[in-house]
Amino acid sequence: MAGITRATTFSFLLFSIFCIVSGAKTGTTDFIKTSCSATTYPALCVQSLSVYASTIQNSPRQLAQTALSVSLARARSASAFVSSLSNTKGMKSRDVAAIKDCVENMSDSVDRLSQSIRELGQISQAGGASFKWHVSNVQTWVSAALTDDTTCVDGIADMNGKVKAAVKGRIVNVAQVTSNALALVNRFAQKYV
């Protein structure tokens, strides 16, 4: 009988821990879902940020910071991919030029997103002129990164074939997560301005 009681108590304890952990994760992912509903691409936002729920918790600032980090990682990956295409054999010279311009745009996007992450890290407390100045810098740089992404896509518009499709797919994804990051930065800023 004592063995059954211990086993039952142990099972109940494990179940209780599971429920607590699941409830905490659900609360955090609910925060992410609610926040992402204010973005242009909410499903992509939830998909790209939910894996960081334990880091984000319920912090609007950490959510914005994580969204910028995701955007930066994807921009770096896309930049490397596009750069590798500049040596593709058999491409027309105008296509090579478009790819090189895209590489330059993506490099600028990476730089601006990196600046944005550093700048958001400089915000020590909510409110005040310093907060507004830092947030304004972040918003400006993320907007510029988004423009770089769009310029890259526009620059390859006249290309044909698989290279165009591959580049466009990657850069559009970067633009979408960057757009979401900007929306989350704006949402964070509105809470304290």
Question: Domain holding 100: CATH number?
Answer: 1.20.140.40
Residue 164's domain comprises 55-192
pLDDT in tens, the chain (193 residues): 455 555 555 444 444 444 444 444 455 789 999 999 999 999 999 999 999 999 999 999 999 999 999 999 999 999 999 999 877 788 888 888 999 999 999 999 999 999 999 999 888 655 677 888 899 999 999 999 999 999 999 999 888 788 889 999 999 999 999 999 999 999 998 876 6
Q: Is 6 inside any structural domain?
A: no
Residues 54, 106 contacting (CB under 8 angstroms): no
Split into its structural domains, the chain has a count of 1
Residues 173, 74 contacting (CB under 8 angstroms): yes
Residues 100, 86 contacting (CB under 8 angstroms): yes
Q: Is 143 inside any structural domain?
A: yes
Q: Is 33 inside any structural domain?
A: no
